Each structure stands twice: as C-alpha cells, then as structure tokens.
C-alpha cells in the first residue's frame, strides 16, 4: 500500500480534519494564534492539493482530461496565492512615529488632471493646515489638465502652480516635471482627493533620520463607501475593500523591507529618486515600479500603519473597474520588464513580496474557471474531478472552512468571509483582459486612464452591458445549469455527485448576484460627502441656545443630535463649534430636516448659508479631518457573513429621497376648521409638526390655494397650502405654518407632550 493511501484513508483523515478544525475554532473564539491559524490553513490546503493530484484527476478521455487539468491548474494558482498571502501576512509590523530631530525641507505635490475643483480645494486646504515650519515647506499643484481655473485656485490659496507641455508618461511624467522645478529634500505626494491630517509630516518625517530610508508610506483611508458597501447596503458590516492591503499586507511587507509607495499619502527622499532617474515611466503603475527600483538599489522603506490622509473611493462600478484594470495591466508590464524574481539587488523576501503583488492580479482566469467548472458535470456529464462526495467534503471542506474561519483574525479584522470571492468575481473578466494586455504591451506606450473621483449621479441605474455583460451571461448559464441539475435529480437514477455540482453552481450564482448588484450606482443627492464626527456644538436662534452634538459634517451641511425636538417656526439658525485651530466657528444655517429617535431626541439636518471664504476654509479643514465613530463593525463570522451574502437581493434597494421636513410630523387626532376665500370647512387633523399640518376634509371642489386660517380647538394658525390630494372621496391638504395667531401656549404644550 502506498503511504498516501494510508494517509488519506477515511478514518485517519477525518480525525486530522476534525482535530485541526477544532483548533481553528478555538483560536478564532479566543482571538489569538494568528500564526498557528496560518499554518493550519497551509497544512489543510497542502493536504487537499496532494489528494487532488493523486486521486481525483480525470483521464478517462481527452475532453475530460482537459477540463480536469484546467480546474487543477486554477487551483494551483489559488494555492500559490495562499502561500504568498500567508508569507506577507505572517508577521506584520506596528511601527510608532519617531520624533523629528531635524526639519528637512519638504515639497508637497498634489497631482490633478480633470477632477472637480472642489475636490482639489479640499486637499490644498488640508495641505495648508499641515503642522510644519512654513519656511521648510512648499506646496505645489501639478496640473496635467492645463486649466486656468486650477491656476486661479492655486493663486487664491497661495500655493505654487506648475504645468508642463503635453501629458507624456501621465502621472509619473507629471511628478518628474515637478521634481525638476522644485528643491525640497523630501517629496510628499497626494492624489487630488487625498486630504492629509495636520500631523501627517509630524508623524512621518522622523523616519528619514536614517539616511538609507527612501520611502515612508502611510495607510490610506477613505471618506466614502466603496461600491460593495454602498450598492448593496452593507456599509456598516463590511470593511473597505482596500483595508486588507493597507492594514495587513503592507505591514507584513514592512517586516521584509518591501512595503512600497502606494501612489499617494507617502514621502520619498529626493536624492534616492534621482539616483534611479526619477519615477519610472515604462509602466502605468509608477508607484510599484519605482519602489521596486529603489529597493533593488538597496534603499529602505518604512510603513506607518496609521491613517494620516483620507481620500475618495471610486463612486461607480466603471470607476472601480478602471482603477483595478490599470493596476492589473501595470503589474503585468512590470513582470515582463523587470521580473522581481530575477531582478538584481533584491533580497529573497523582497522578491517573494513583489512577485506576490503581481501574482495576485492574475486571479481573473482562475476565478472564471471556478465559476464555470460545475456546469461541465451538470450539462455535459464530464466531471472536472473524480471523487466520492465524502472524501471531497472532508478534504476540500476542511481546508475551505478553516480559511473562512481564520480570515478575520489573519487579516486583522479587515476582511469578512466570502467577500474576497465577491471582489474577485466583480473583476474576473476585466482582470483577465488587463493582465493579457499588460503581458503583450510591456514595451509599448499604454494610455493612463485617470480614475474618476468626485462623481455625482442624478439617477440610479446599473452599469452598462460592456461592464457586466459577462457576469450576466455566466449568471444565466449557472441558473440554467442549476435548474437542469434539479430536474436530473428527480430522475430514477441520478448521476452520482450531482448534488455537489448543483450546490457548487448555486454558490457561484450567489457570488455572481452580489457582483452584479455592486454594479448598481446609487443616486447621490448631496453635493459633498458627509463624514462621521463627534463634536460638541450649540444651535441658536433669536430666542434660545441649545447644546447639541455633531454627528456628521461636510462643507455644505451638518447633522446634529439634540435631546429634544427643536420646536420653532424659524428655519434660519446658527451653529457654533470648534475648529481644528481651537477657534470657535459660528455659521449660519437653515433647518432642512428633523427626525425623532427612540430616546425622545431628534436628529436635525442643517444646511449652511452665506459662508465667507475664511469660514469655508475653516469648515473644510474641520470636515476633512479624520472621521470619528463611523459605526463600522470589526467584521462578521462565517455564518453571519454568509447570511449577509444570501440576503443581497433582499437588501438591494433604491435609496429614497431623504426627508426634508423642518420638524418631525406626529399624529394628532383633533377636529379643525378651515377658513379660506369666504368659506368655512370642518375637518380633522391627521398629523402636525411645529412648522406644518396635515388635515383631511370632505371632498373639496376647489381646494385652498392661498394663505388661510386653520383652527384647532383654541389654537389659530395662519397657514399656506403646499399640496392637495384627492383620496376616497376626501381631500387631504398639507399646510405650512406661517404664524401662530392665537393659542401659542397650547401649541407649545402639544409639542412638549410629543417630545416626552
């Protein structure tokens, strides 16, 4: 008997699976043992791959052999990716910022092409708020869009404006042109949408006391939700898709001196850049390629796992795809031009880390193979692997379930089970095309497509067929396959293993449905993104001042919470809160909505009015600081995450127009009288707010259209009609309250009773 037959015999293999899974569950429950979990996942996956190679390949005929080997090669890719991921995630660093012992000169460079002006302005104001000696700091706008309005904005804010002839080599060429016209010892680079925190330089410049350090990169944070969080309404349950890279992988690479510059929110030493000829222009991923050259030159990098700048995720499926496609194409170009496995000057850990970053982007074709594979058995009776259900569940399920349980702890709570699968399904077709293009265009000029940021959508809708056509076709094929398989199960002698293929195809259909739903863009009704903040404030009108708490903030408005509803007819109020410079900022505003909460308090939406430039800049500096209390959970377990995935269709919904009420409407069952145009009509009140009333009257041939008098017991209100609706022989009229003519004390008393 072969040794493998003993190793893979039913009882010993089940004991091994059960024991290791028990250890995984225990460690996950205790929240400890990351490295042990990584080792167990590798062990179970290695056992599965060996079993697949020895016992399950289909060599019955040419077609079966082709299908079987294709799936096995895709699984080999996944296994290699597991090994590379595990290596990078094995021992992350947690650096602390060193003190600044000297103050080198720093050039801040903000690159811009055609992005909205307000996005650039926000970033420049954040740069102006950096705490660093002003005589050691210079701020540059590098404009590749050659727009006069960008020049005007730079002059208005007192920063330097640089432009160049043409747009050769895209961002890399833009940065190189800026470097040639500046002189700072260090160069801090921000994309147009990345707003630095005031302490960005205070926490990063100290690393350059080591003269061999060429790169200092920080974690990137994002104000807005990614397409997965926003389109299928999972924002409070899922972490941002890029957090796994910035929170885990970059820190793990830092252990091997291979954390790379990520294109924004990082600093580089000028002399180090100049020693390699500046930013690399041969590929469209200048950040990775330049970092590779710096490490090969023997320079060091430092990664600070702290979010010191916040930017924008692509707001649409097309934008997300465009960004990831550029990364995939660029990494393929790097592989052909400067393969890190063979590039001179790199250490072995650096070779593995850089190759891991490139290897990841080849997930597209393997993912498509995984999606299609179960159909071969259902529709063509050709198994992609030959195995009984019991051993398959034992060897595959133990490895897969262990990885699902362990991923949250291994990723440091940045990734939920199953959602890496969804991310890859979204990009599988585009990534496949991009990597192939990169392989065959490595020595050709490739157009750099700027990721759209700051986009606004007036309507909701799905991405075009060119973006999700492949997903829709494959989803339809899987649904057809599942239906066909279920019908085959009803036959007298169904094919063995058919339930496994049906279950696999069904799971793939669920992944595809989540991917398709992520292509649905939501209407964006706000001009500016609201960012979570928790700040004390006061709201004031002509008669009173009320303490409140800011919940979220943007350049155009604020949401505050008060302990009791704000009962006043005046829509115009003022709000006071502290600035980043510890000054008291007083802004005029208008109440545009008010909603009650379960504790008897209310959330008030206030839109700012008549902002002067000084107030606007202070507001931008405050609202662009690090968000606080965003309410995102630390992740989900396997079963809760799967339940979230299953519920994707029921949770997919159109976001409704937010309430624009100045005050909450509450039910009030009282009789009323309406005087208008010489007529007196009796009716009943349905609901009231401090600024509005809804009343129902017998059918009115000619509803009121001008200001009239509405009496409710001893209260007399001067009201103006907003809307009249005919319903079941009655006329429903909504009024705005213009003034209280009589019975103000009773009116106040009613609302006070509502607030209690």
Active site residues: 144, 287
Burial class (CB within 10 angstroms; exposed 0-12, middle 13-18, buried 19+) of 502: buried
Burial class (CB within 10 angstroms; exposed 0-12, middle 13-18, buried 19+) of 232: buried
Cβ atoms 103, 133 nearer than 8 A: yes
Residues listed for the chain: 756
Cβ atoms 463, 318 nearer than 8 A: yes
Q: Where are the beta strands (DSSP E) in 422-519?
A: 461-462
Measure the CA–CA gap between 89 and 92, rounded to whole angstroms. 6
What are the beta bridge partners of residue 112? Answer: 143
Burial class (CB within 10 angstroms; exposed 0-12, middle 13-18, buried 19+) of 445: exposed
Measure the CA–CA gap between 270 and 597, rounded to whole angstroms. 54
Residue written as token pair 């600024």: 691
Among 572, 529, 575, 586, CA closest to 550: 575
What are the beta bridge partners of residue 721? Answer: 735
Measure the CA–CA gap between 552 and 566, rounded to whole angstroms. 18
Rg (CA), the chain: 31
First to last CA, the chain: 80
Residue 115 is inside which H or E element, if any? none
Measure the CA–CA gap between 520 and 231, rounded to whole angstroms. 6
Measure the CA–CA gap between 345 and 340, rounded to whole angstroms. 10
Measure the CA–CA gap between 201 and 208, rounded to whole angstroms. 11
The helix, strand and coil proportions of the chain, stated in percent and rounded to the nearest 5, come to 45, 20, 35
> Among the residues of 8-116, which ranges form H helices?
10-30, 34-51, 62-89
Residue 137 is inside which H or E element, if any? strand 137-143
What are the beta bridge partners of residue 591? Answer: 606
Measure the CA–CA gap between 648 and 232, rounded to whole angstroms. 6
Cβ atoms 618, 585 nearer than 8 A: yes
Cβ atoms 41, 86 nearer than 8 A: yes
Residue written as token pair 């005919």: 726
Q: Is 293 helix (H, G, I), strand (E, B) or coil?
A: helix
- CA angle, residues 278, 283, 287, in degrees to nearest 5: 55
Torsion region of 734: left, alpha or beta (phi above 0 gives left; psi -120 to 50 gives alpha): beta
Would strands 666-667 and 671-676 be described as parallel, antiparallel, or unpaired?
A: unpaired
Q: Which pair of structure tokens corresponds to residue 15? A: 């004991």
Cβ atoms 493, 466 nearer than 8 A: no
Cβ atoms 213, 142 nearer than 8 A: no
Q: Is 444 helix (H, G, I), strand (E, B) or coil?
A: coil
Measure the CA–CA gap between 527 and 454, rounded to whole angstroms. 9
Phi/psi of residue 162, each to 5°?
-130, 135
Residue 606 is inside which H or E element, if any? strand 602-609
Longest dimension (CA), the chain: 106
Residue written as token pair 């067929």: 465
């Amino acid at each position: 008997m072969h040794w493998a037959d003993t190793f893979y015999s039913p009882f010993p293999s089940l004991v091994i699976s059960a024991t290791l899974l028990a250890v995984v569950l225990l460690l996950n429950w205790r929240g400890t043992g990351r490295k042990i979990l990584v080792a167990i996942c590798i062990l179970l996956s290695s056992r599965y791959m060996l079993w697949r190679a020895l016992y399950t390949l289909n060599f019955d005929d040419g077609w079966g052999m082709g299908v079987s080997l294709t799936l096995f090669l895709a699984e080999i890719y996944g296994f290699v990716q597991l090994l590379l991921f595990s290596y990078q995630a094995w021992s992350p660093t947690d650096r602390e910022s060193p003190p600044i012992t000297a103050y080198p000169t720093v050039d801040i460079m903000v690159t811009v092409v055609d992005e909205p002006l307000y996005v650039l302005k926000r970033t420049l104001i954040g740069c102006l708020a950096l705490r660093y000696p002003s005589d050691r700091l210079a701020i540059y706008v590098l404009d590749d869009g050659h727009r006069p309005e960008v020049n005007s904005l730079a002059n208005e804010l007192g920063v330097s404006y640089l432009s160049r002839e043409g747009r050769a080599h895209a961002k890399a060429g833009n940065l190189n042109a800026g470097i040639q016209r500046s002189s700072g010892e260090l160069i801090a680079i921000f994309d147009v949408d990345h707003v630095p925190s005031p302490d960005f330089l205070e926490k990063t410049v100290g690393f350059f006391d080591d003269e061999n350090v060429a790169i200092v990169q920080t974690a990137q944070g994002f104000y807005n939700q990614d397409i997965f969080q926003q389109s299928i309404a999972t924002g409070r349950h899922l972490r941002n898709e890029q957090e796994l890279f910035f929170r885990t992988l970059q820190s793990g690479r830092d252990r091997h001196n291979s954390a790379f510059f990520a294109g924004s929110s990082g600093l580089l030493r000028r002399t180090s850049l100049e020693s390699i000829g500046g930013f690399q222009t041969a590929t469209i991923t200048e950040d990775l390629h330049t970092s590779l050259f710096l490490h090969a030159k023997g320079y060091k990098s430092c990664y600070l796992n702290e979010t010191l700048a916040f930017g924008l995720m692509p707001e649409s499926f097309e934008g997300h795809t465009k960004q990831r496609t550029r990364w995939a194409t660029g990494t393929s170009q790097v592989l052909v031009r400067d393969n890190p496995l063979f590039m001179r000057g790199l250490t072995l850990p650096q070779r593995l880390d850089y190759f891991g970053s490139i290897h990841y982007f080849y997930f597209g074709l393997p993912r498509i193979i995984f999606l299609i594979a179960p159909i071969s058995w259902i529709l063509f009776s050709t198994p992609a692997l030959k195995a009984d259900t019991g051993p398959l569940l034992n060897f595959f399920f133990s490895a897969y379930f262990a990885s699902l349980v362990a991923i949250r702890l291994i990723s440091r709570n940045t990734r939920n089970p199953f959602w890496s699968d969804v991310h890859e399904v979204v990009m599988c077709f585009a990534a496949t095309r991009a990597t192939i293009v990169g392989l065959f265009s490595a020595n050709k000029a490739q157009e750099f497509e700027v990721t759209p940021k700051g986009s606004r959508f007036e309507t909701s809708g799905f991405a075009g067929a060119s973006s999700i056509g492949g997903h829709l076709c494959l989803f339809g094929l899987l649904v057809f396959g599942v239906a066909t398989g279920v019908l085959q199960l009803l036959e007298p002698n169904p094919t063995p293993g058919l339930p496994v293929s049906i279950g696999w195809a069904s799971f793939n259909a669920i992944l595809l449905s989540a991917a398709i739903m992520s292509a649905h863009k939501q209407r964006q009704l706000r001009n500016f993104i609201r960012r979570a903040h928790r700040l004390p404030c006061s709201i004031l009108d002509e008669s009173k001042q009320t303490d409140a708490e800011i919940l979220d903030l943007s350049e155009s408005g604020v949401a505050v919470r008060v302990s009791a509803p704000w009962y006043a007819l005046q829509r115009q109020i003022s709000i006071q809160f502290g600035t980043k410079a510890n000054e008291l900022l007083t802004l005029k505003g208008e109440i545009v909505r008010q909603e009650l909460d379960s504790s008897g308090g209310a959330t008030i939406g206030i839109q700012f009015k008549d902002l002067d430039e000084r107030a606007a800049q202070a507001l931008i500096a405050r609202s662009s600081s690090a968000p606080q209390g965003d309410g995102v959970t630390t992740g989900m377990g396997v079963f809760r995450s799967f339940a979230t995935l299953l519920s994707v269709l029921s949770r997919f919904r159109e976001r409704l127009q937010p309430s624009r009420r100045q005050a909450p409407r509450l039910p009030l069952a009282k009789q009323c009288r309406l005087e208008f145009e010489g007529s007196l009509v009796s009716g009943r009140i349905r609901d009231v707010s401090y600024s509005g009333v809804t009343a129902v009257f017998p059918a009115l041939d000619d509803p009121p259209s001008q200001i009239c008098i509405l009496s409710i017991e001893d209260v007399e209100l001067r009201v103006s009609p907003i809307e009249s609706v005919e319903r079941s022989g009655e006329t429903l009229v909504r009024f705005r309250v213009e003034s209280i003519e009589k019975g103000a004390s009773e009116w106040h008393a009613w609302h006070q009773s509502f607030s209690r």
